[in-house]
């Protein structure tokens, strides 16, 4: 990599390594994951961590509660890029008892650990993944949590783009919708280029997401709006509410958010990720009893229930197809995949109904076959239910590669002007 140093990457909440796998597929010479942390609370067996260490030999692998890791350990890594998929939690903040300047976030919230890493290391880039409902939480004060996150980035001197992406809409085999957040340090070359563009030009044409994930020219049903965040993050926590759309940009606290429509790609159907039926173990096929249970679970129903207070109400649920359509991409895979649960995929091949196998679930997320081999089937399903679609990260890694080259070009121009 002439004239370019590798990007040092810190991977938080690493799971089984989807971020790392995608980045290394994008450019293994550029992205060097120097430090990764994965820790599953309240579990003796650390299956995801063991899977990570089995599949990746380089870098420091840490199996600790992130809240116990000292700042010095992060500072020592000096990351250029921080990545991670973190849980959607309550991000509310309040003034500390010790005075007006201190802030207290709710304990145990892992986004505050991301904040701690960023304020101690100041990486050029940050790439995060979360569930799509992040933009609307909490239900009683829509948009508050995401606004607190954006204000946190603002206060750390970052600009932010976000996009909710359905993997199937860009050619992948799963209808998995996730919020992706890309933050970049103000003052780097890319930010200087973006600074000359309007928010609309960035969101529709020139931004981090718009180039690799093309969209139609106009917002869906005209849904585009602007807002400025209050300066005081406690005020945001106490009173701010806002309807964030599925895409947006925040620069210096000023937000433009828009509902975008993707340019249609041909998705990968379920039938393309199935293994040969002769290799499917008999344990994955449904018994007659299981078939009857799934027929009930997936069928329409109206059931009278009684609440804890004695109030009677009708629980109703619409019906869904008895089996998943092999000519369509899979539904969103959950951690309960493979259990007797309405959300589990059930496919019918050669007249027999069965679950997806763990290998097929790995393929749904774009992992190599047997990536999670060595743990129980239940844990293999659980890890894939928590994982991300690797191909999306590969595309984003290629975009970061493209953006980082701008810094080199800028440096070359500077050296030429000084010579």
Known catalytic membership, residue 88: yes
Binning pLDDT at 50, 70 and 90, where does residue 263 land?
A: very high
> Does a structural domain hold residue 19?
yes
Residue 357 sits in a domain whose CATH number is 3.90.120.10
Q: How far apart are CA 19 and CA 21, in angstroms?
A: 6
Mean pLDDT of 204-209: 97
Select from 238, 265, 292 the last residue of a domain.
265
> Does a structural domain hold residue 298?
yes
Q: Concatenated DSSP letters for 324-346?
A: --TTS-B----TTTTSSSTTS-E
Residues 250 and 378 in one domain: no
pLDDT, tens only, 49-89: 999 999 999 999 999 999 999 999 999 999 999 999 988 78
Residues 40 and 163 in one domain: yes
> Does a structural domain hold residue 397?
no
Asked if the model's pLDDT at residue 104 lies above 70, the reply is no
Residues 157 and 81 in one domain: yes
Q: How far apart are CA 285 and CA 168, in angstroms?
A: 26
Residues 259 and 302 in one domain: no
> Does a structural domain hold residue 149?
yes
pLDDT higher for 100 or 191?
191
The tally of domains found in the chain comes to 2
Q: Identify the domain containing residue 172 by its residue range.
A: 7-265
Asked if the model's pLDDT at residue 101 lies above 80, the reply is no
Q: Residue 406 belongs to what H/E stretch?
A: helix 390-418
Asked if the model's pLDDT at residue 342 lies above 90, the reply is yes
Q: What is the pTM of this model?
A: 0.93
Residues 283 and 203 in one domain: no
pLDDT, tens only, 153-172: 999 999 999 999 999 999 99
Residue 310, pLDDT score: 87
Residues 286 and 167 in one domain: no
Tell me how far apart the terminal alpha carbons of the chain are, to the nearest angstrom.
23
Q: How far apart are CA 418 and CA 293, in angstroms?
A: 75
Residues 279 and 301 in one domain: yes
Residues 115 and 91 in one domain: yes
Residues 198 and 54 in one domain: yes
Residue 86, pLDDT score: 86
pLDDT, tens only, 353-391: 999 999 999 999 999 999 999 999 999 999 999 999 999
Counts for the chain of helices (H) and strands (E), in that order:
12, 16
Asked if the model's pLDDT at residue 271 lies above 50, the reply is yes
Select from 246, 265, 284 the last residue of a domain.
265
Mean pLDDT of 237-253: 96
Question: Across all residues in the chain, what is the average pLDDT?
Answer: 92
Mean pLDDT check: name the lowest of 4-8, 196-200, 225-229, 316-320.
316-320
Select from 265, 283, 299 the last residue of a domain.
265
In angstroms, what CA-CA distances link 280 with 62, 291, 293, 358?
Answer: 35, 18, 22, 10
> Does a structural domain hold residue 402?
no
Residue 223 sits in a domain whose CATH number is 3.40.50.150
Mean pLDDT of 182-189: 97
> Does a structural domain hold residue 270?
no
Residue 419, pLDDT score: 47
Residues 109 and 151 in one domain: yes
Residues 159 and 242 in one domain: yes
Q: What share of the chain is helix, strand, coil (3-state, %, to 5)?
A: 35, 25, 40
Residue 212: which of 262, 138, 260, 256 has the closest Cα? 262
Residues 163 and 299 in one domain: no
327 CA to centre of own chain: 26
Of these ranges, 93-97, 242-246, 295-299, the one predicted with the greatest mean pLDDT is 242-246
Residue 88, pLDDT score: 79
pLDDT, tens only, 11-47: 999 999 999 999 999 999 999 999 999 999 878 899 9
Residue 412, pLDDT score: 46
Q: How far apart are CA 68 and CA 323, in angstroms?
A: 46
Asked if the model's pLDDT at residue 100 lies above 60, the reply is no
> Does a structural domain hold residue 381?
yes
> Does a structural domain hold residue 403?
no
Q: Is the dihedral of CA 166, 170, 174, 180 positive or negative?
A: negative
Binning pLDDT at 50, 70 and 90, where does residue 92 land?
A: confident
Q: How far apart are CA 260 and CA 68, in angstroms?
A: 40
Asked if the model's pLDDT at residue 103 lies above 60, the reply is no
400 CA to centre of own chain: 16
Mean pLDDT of 202-216: 97
């Amino acid at each position: 990599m002439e004239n370019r140093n590798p990007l040092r990457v810190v991977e938080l909440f690493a799971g089984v390594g989807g971020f790392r796998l995608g980045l290394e597929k994008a450019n293994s010479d550029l992205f060097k994951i120097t430090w990764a942390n994965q820790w599953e609370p309240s579990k003796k067996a650390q299956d995801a961590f063991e899977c990570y260490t089995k599949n990746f030999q380089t870098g420091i692998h840490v199996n600790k509660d992130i809240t116990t890791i000292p700042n010095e350990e992060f500072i020592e890594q000096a990351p250029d890029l921080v990545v991670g998929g973190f849980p959607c939690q309550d991000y509310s903040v309040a003034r500390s008892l010790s005075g007006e300047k201190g802030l207290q976030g709710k304990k145990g919230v892992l986004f505050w650990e991301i904040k701690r890493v960023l304020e101690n290391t100041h990486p050029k880039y940050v790439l995060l993944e979360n569930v799509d409902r992040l933009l609307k939480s909490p239900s009683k004060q829509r948009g508050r949590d995401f606004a607190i996150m954006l204000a946190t980035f603002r206060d750390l001197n970052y600009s932010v783009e976000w996009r909710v992406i359905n993997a199937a809409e860009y050619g992948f085999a799963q209808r998995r919708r996730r919020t992706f957040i890309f933050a970049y340090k103000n003052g780097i070359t890319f930010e200087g280029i973006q600074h000359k563009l309007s928010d609309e030009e960035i969101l529709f044409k020139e931004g981090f997401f718009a180039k690799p994930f093309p969209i139609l020219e106009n917002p869906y049903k005209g849904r585009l709006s602007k807002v400025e965040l209050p300066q005081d993050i406690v005020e945001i926590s106490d009173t701010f509410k806002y309807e964030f759309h599925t895409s947006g940009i925040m620069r210096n606290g000023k937000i433009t958010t828009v509902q975008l429509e993707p340019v249609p790609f041909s998705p990968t159907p379920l039938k393309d990720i199935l293994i040969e039926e002769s290799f499917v173990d008999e344990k994955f096929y449904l018994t007659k009893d299981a078939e009857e249970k799934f027929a009930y679970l997936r069928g329409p129903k109206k059931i009278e229930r009684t609440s804890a207070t004695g109030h009677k109400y009708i629980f109703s649920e619409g019906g869904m197809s008895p089996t998943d359509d092999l000519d369509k991409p899979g539904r969103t895979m959950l951690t309960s995949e493979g259990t007797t649960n309405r959300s589990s995929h059930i496919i019918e091949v050669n007249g027999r109904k069965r679950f997806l196998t763990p290998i097929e679930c790995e393929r749904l997320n774009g992992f190599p076959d047997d990536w999670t081999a060595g743990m129980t089937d239940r844990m293999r399903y659980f890890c894939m239910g928590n994982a991300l679609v690797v191909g999306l990260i590969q595309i984003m890694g290629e975009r970061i590669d493209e953006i980082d080259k701008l810094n080199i070009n800028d440096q070359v121009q500077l050296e030429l002007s000084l010579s």
